[in-house]
Amino acid sequence: MARARQEMGKPFSVRFSRRTDLFVQQEATRTKRTKSAIVESLAEEAATIRRFGGLAFRGDDWDRRPSVIGTGLDVWEIVDMLKSYDGDIERLVADNRLERRHVQLALGYYEEHREEIDEAIADNRRPVEELKSHYPFVQFVETSRQ
pLDDT in tens, 105-127: 999 999 999 999 999 999 998 88
Q: Determine the pLDDT at residue 104.
A: 98
User: What separation, in Å, do the N-terminal and C-terminal C-alpha atoms of the chain show?
Assistant: 32
* Signed CA dihedral, 99, 104, 110, 112: sign only: negative
Q: What is the mean pLDDT of residues 96-113?
A: 97
Q: Determine the pLDDT at residue 5.
A: 64
Q: What is the mean pLDDT of residues 71-78?
A: 98
Q: What is the mean pLDDT of residues 28-37?
A: 94
Please determine, for residue 3, whether its predicted confidence score (pLDDT) is greater than 60: no
Q: Determine the pLDDT at residue 127.
A: 87
- Domain regions of the chain by residue span: 17-51, 52-133
